[in-house]
Amino acid sequence: MKYRRLGKSGLEVSLLGLGTNAFGKRADEDTSIRIIHHAIDRGINFIDTANIYAGTESERIIGEALVGKRQHVVLATKAGLPTGTGPHSRGSSRYHLHQELEQSLRRLKTDYIDLYQIHTFDPNTPIEETLRTLDDMVRSGKVRYIGASNYAAWEFMKALGISNNKGFVRYMSSQTSYSLADRTPEQELIPMCLDQGVGLIPYFPLAGGILSGKYLAAEQAPQGSRAETDPSFNRFLNDQTIALGQQVSKLAADRGYTPSALSLAWLMDQPVVSTVIVGATKVQQLEDNLQSLEVQLTPELAQSLQEISEPFRDGKPFALYRLT
């Protein structure tokens, strides 16, 4: 396994991380635990979850899986997206964050979180309140590093400026949709991260499976695919994204790689990326994704990937989760 520092912090994370959105939903508890244990055995130390994944089941399952193994992983979770309909059931207020941190700690069976992330920008809470709360959490020992997800570049930079001015702990990572099918972070977010020493953590690195090449037409969802199990995913399927998946598949096949491994290797080649989180619903899927670490991304191949994905640099992000 290869490791990188999370931004300019001293925290080292595996270049391939484990995303756990499917645990307790598309992968049952026993399967999820086997995947986690296999990931650890193969050197993956970064496990990413959130308080809302599978209605809290993801965190609970991870807690069970890490009994006796907690010291081997960098555990990341999030809070901020809605957990219910009450007045304090969303956002990044001091009230909500303390409430959610305590519940996450209980479910994860740990007394600290390595990376605590705000799941999305909260327009209704003063950002100083959020940052002071996170600073208090780090000082208490319950949180070691902090990050943010789904922030626009200006929101993230505003947070860094306030932290610098007030002496608060700074965000060390930004989690965002980033892939060959979504290069919109290159416009503003990635230049900001490079300038400020912030590590990027891409989610949807395979565009929900589109970059695996398994989708041949928008109306033909493969059995067991995300488009079949989650009908809302079909909004991402169109002629342009499917064509990109097929182009990546051809480049990969010509060189003896899988399209998934090649797509992940392209992300890993980006200097701003600290770790690429990839989900799995079975052990073999995780093992297949580990092949990305063996891909030899030549300048010629990298240029070809840049060219076929250039249309995805502008326009709307592939995915973005925001509070309204």
Token pair recorded at residue 245: 């998946």
Per-residue confidence (pLDDT) for residue 230, from 0 to 100 = 62
Token pair recorded at residue 20: 């756990």
In a domain, 239, yes or no: yes
Q: Which of 3, 53, 151, 171 is catalytic?
A: 53
* DSSP secondary structure letter of residue 318: S
* DSSP secondary structure letter of residue 23: B
pLDDT tens per residue, range 253-297 = 999 999 999 999 999 999 999 999 999 999 999 999 999 999 999
In a domain, 275, yes or no: yes
Count of residues in the chain? 324
Residue 107 near residue 52 (C-beta atoms within 8 A): no
Q: Could you identify the residue written with the tokens 């079909």?
A: 234
Token pair recorded at residue 259: 């399209």
Helix (H) or strand (E) holding 47: strand 46-48
Report the SS3 class of residue 101.
Answer: helix
Distance separating alpha carbons of residues 18 and 73, to the nearest angstrom: 11
Q: Name the percent of the chain lying above pLDDT 70.
A: 94
Q: How many domains does the chain have?
A: 1
| Band of pLDDT at residue 322, cut at 50, 70 and 90 | very high
Q: Does the pLDDT value for residue 79 go beyond 90?
A: yes
In the residue annotation, 112 being an active-site residue is answered as no
Token pair recorded at residue 126: 């003063």
Per-residue confidence (pLDDT) for residue 84, from 0 to 100 = 94
Q: Does the pLDDT value for residue 136 go beyond 80?
A: yes
Helix (H) or strand (E) holding 18: strand 16-19
Per-residue confidence (pLDDT) for residue 216, from 0 to 100 = 67
Distance separating alpha carbons of residues 246 and 180, to the nearest angstrom: 12
Of 189, 101, 110, nearest in space to 146 by CA: 101
| Band of pLDDT at residue 248, cut at 50, 70 and 90 | very high
pTM, 2 dp: 0.95
Average pLDDT over residues 150-168: 98
Residues 206, 207, 208, 212, CA torsion sign: negative
Per-residue confidence (pLDDT) for residue 218, from 0 to 100 = 53
Contact residues for 99 (Cβ-Cβ < 8 A; gap 6+) = 88
Distance separating alpha carbons of residues 30 and 10, to the nearest angstrom: 34
Of 182, 187, 185, nearest in space to 241 by CA: 182
Q: Does the pLDDT value for residue 132 go beyond 80?
A: yes
Per-residue confidence (pLDDT) for residue 256, from 0 to 100 = 96
In a domain, 269, yes or no: yes
pLDDT tens per residue, range 3-58 = 999 999 999 999 999 999 999 999 999 999 999 999 999 999 999 999 999 999 99
In a domain, 106, yes or no: yes
Contact residues for 53 (Cβ-Cβ < 8 A; gap 6+) = 20, 21, 23, 24, 25, 59
In a domain, 319, yes or no: no
Q: Give start and end residues of each alpha helix (H) in the chain.
A: 29-41, 57-65, 94-108, 127-140, 153-166, 189-196, 226-229, 239-254, 259-268, 283-289, 299-309
Distance separating alpha carbons of residues 12 and 35, to the nearest angstrom: 21
What is the span of the domain harbouring residue 109?
Answer: 3-312
Q: Does the pLDDT value for residue 214 go beyond 80?
A: no
- Nearest 10 degrees: CA dihedral of 78, 22, 28, 25? 90
CATH assignment of the domain containing 122: 3.20.20.100
Helix pair 189-196, 153-166: axis angle to 10 deg: 20
In a domain, 187, yes or no: yes
Phi then psi dihedrals of residue 144, to 5 deg: -105, -40
pLDDT tens per residue, range 293-310 = 999 999 999 999 999 999
Average pLDDT over residues 139-148: 98
In a domain, 46, yes or no: yes
Distance separating alpha carbons of residues 265 and 290, to the nearest angstrom: 10
Contact residues for 211 (Cβ-Cβ < 8 A; gap 6+) = 179, 180, 181, 205, 244, 245, 248, 259, 260, 263
Report the SS3 class of residue 303.
Answer: helix
Average pLDDT over residues 169-180: 98
Lowest mean pLDDT, pick from 33-42, 135-144, 178-187, 209-218: 209-218
Residues 73, 195, 279, 62, CA torsion sign: positive
In a domain, 320, yes or no: no
What is the spatial order of strands in the sheet that 16-19 belongs to? 199-203, 171-177, 143-149, 113-118, 74-79, 46-48, 16-19, 276-279
